[in-house]
Structure 1
């Protein structure tokens, strides 16, 4: 009974503590041989039927839950212990036949367990591969749809921007009585529309997947050196913008990605101020320190006396600014202030 309890306990232990379970099973097997040899060495009882079933179950459990090394140990160590005990106890040939049967049956369980575990692992890997393939297919379809929408958006917006550019360019010929100030205003509108078209086409060239578009030349991207020109163009549209630049390095000494991000932060902040706070004063500050570039754009409250209403926005502009800044390991904060709205970004130089 004690030996039977030990074998049952070995089945329980091997599930979590494999070494302890194998050791207890080995001791139980050796004890069975020694106990069987006391009445008569002619009894073929090194492996009784229930002990054989327990050994086969133990090997199967270990081979299914562990790698093949542990499974081989679970099979070989009890078999080796029983063989040594048989030699020490003087069993006859029938006992050795019993040992061979036990080794063969448990070896079959070992093979079944190892192959079953490998089959389960392959099945799990195939399932993971299928899930990954489905995810990649969904992402590819989403990207294709985004590219299609981007192309359609380009076609729609490009037509309107082209009309604006043509109308602004030909206004001085169609209306000869225009004054110099009005002509300069129309020239500014035409230049802004052409710049918007150029940037849209360069972005669309990145989105296109055809081989004929991959080698399309791209226009130079804006940099930090273009911020004064951006502010000046905004002033020509009637917005009162103040610009302070301190300690800014030469544009060639700043990484292109950082310069482009700084330009986009100022551009989106100015657009946001013009859209949501018309006729408000805007202050732009660009300061370069020892390890970071700090950008502050703050606007005052809208001037309601002139009758202009804030224009609704999609809410994606500032989200795009956050993504650009965080991609460079920077930080950005934006929100209402006591006097209006502020956008503050910090871009590391290193």
Structure 2
């Protein structure tokens, strides 16, 4: 058992302890990476990934030894765990940076007016032109219709579960929402194909099944609904009860309390859940392929004829034998990510503007 020695009479206690200089951590990192690279490449068992992993392990060991020698065991444990947390953060961010860099570097080749102003209609395998204008229109219309259908249903369903729901019926709603969360996108597409395309659409198309962008929007709605319900439900439960009670004490009706107090308080989290569902819907390929067909021509009417989308365009171009197709696929992927990013930023700014000031 170790004890701390008390200062001698008349001697001031030591308020400062020895600290390992910051440059020492850089030195430990350089030595660790060098040893990791030597072990990885010298033995021939791996490449730069293994060198980074070995360097990280050796860095943590080196930090513990160096800090333990200068600052003591307790500080060494603290510094080692801090280094481990920072390293885990870097490892988590690296794949994201890699994806962004790959999209920007490979997708910049076709960032031109022809790509955003033309379609793939009458474009052959040897034609370097052609763009994703038709796919951009299809994605915006399909996701927009799906959002108009799903956001009110999802938010109102979550309000019912949190504010009004009691008993077995609410339990069943929660259960089926949880089940729907894990439904594969291909199943949602098959459901809309069997119900809307093969049964309902022949009533409006002289008895023939009709593929359309609206059918794709219905399939995307099935995928978006559980995400919106669950995220909105959790955000509403985080609203403090005293806010509701204070409003009730002032004689405000429950519906107005929900509309004016509860929803604005939870709005940033609700918007986050909505944008997650929109991002998932914008990136789905299987439902659009099953029920919208994926036309290469421009179609502004989502209720009539086949229609494409950006995710389906990426899928088609990635599998095309043309040497010009990969560049189109990368640019379309970059465009899709940029659209989701722009919508997310706009929604966040709108939610920040409309929330209750603290």
Name whichever structure is richer in helix by fraction.
Answer: 2
* Greater relative CO, 1 or 2 (CA 8 Å, sep 6+): 2
TM over 0.5: same fold? no
Normalising by structure 1, what TM-score?
A: 0.24
Larger of the two Rg values belongs to structure: 1
Name whichever structure is richer in strand by fraction.
Answer: 1
Normalising by structure 2, what TM-score?
A: 0.24
